[in-house]
A = this chain, B = another copy of it.
Amino acid sequence: MKTAVIIIFDDFTDIDVFLPWDLLNRVKAFVPDFTVKIIGTGSVHTSSTGIDLATHASIELCSTADLVVVASGKGTRTLIKDNEFLSRIHLDPDRQVICSLCTGSLILAALGHLKGLSATTYPTAFDLLRSYEVDVIENESLVIQGNIATAAECLAAIELMSWAIGKLFGEDISSNVLATVTPNGKTISV
């Protein structure tokens, strides 16, 4: 049974949580025993627009998940200096598929997982990401390094989740999930 978690925190960006959440939940139509949980340090976290979102489990659960999605938002700027917060996140890129949206990559960088690697982030955070010895790719929406993928900006969540679902369950499942949200009469290229 495979599991996914989405790490949230106060001042998260709505799209960056709910787009991955919705897309990952659609996997269950094809892989019924897949579970997706929203995790954080609190029982509820509030987005930058004021949406209160309850967590399903504590942030430590990220260490056992097959897929970890780090959300983004203004909150990341504080958290990357919060050692107590960072000390509760244990990830293993050899064993886990790890994704970030926008400034979520700052958290991965602060944890040391992007040192010497290529990655992307929200344009206003390029310099900050660079300060963690990361090779910042400014003009790509999805940067993949082994099991770690960083994406920017918000709507890149679609290609990021497409990649992650493909990594966990194969391209067919990934395409099937995308088909359920693709605007009528259109195709989405990812």
Q: In angstroms, how far is the closest chain B Cβ from the Cβ of A142?
A: 8
Contact in complex: A141, B51 (CB < 8 Å): no
Q: In the complex, A51→B120 CA distance in Å?
A: 29
Contacts known (A21-B49, A49-B25, A54-B52); A185 close to B139, Cβ less than 8 A: yes
Interface membership of chain A positions 150-180, coded 1 if the CB is closer than 8 angstroms to chain B and 0 otherwise: 0111111011000000000000000000001
Using a CB–CB cutoff of 8 Å, the interface residues on chain A facing chain B are 13-15, 18-19, 21-23, 25, 49, 51-54, 120, 123, 138-142, 151-156, 158-159, 180-186, 188
Contact in complex: A180, B158 (CB < 8 Å): no
One of B123, B153, B181, B184 near A15 (C-beta < 8 A): B181
Q: In the complex, A182→B123 CA distance in Å?
A: 11
- 30 intermolecular pairs with C-beta atoms under 8 Å apart: A13-B22, A14-B21, A14-B25, A15-B181, A18-B51, A19-B19, A21-B51, A22-B154, A51-B53, A52-B54, A139-B184, A139-B185, A140-B185, A141-B183, A141-B184, A141-B185, A141-B186, A151-B183, A152-B184, A153-B180, A153-B181, A153-B182, A153-B184, A154-B181, A155-B181, A155-B188, A156-B183, A156-B184, A156-B186, A159-B183
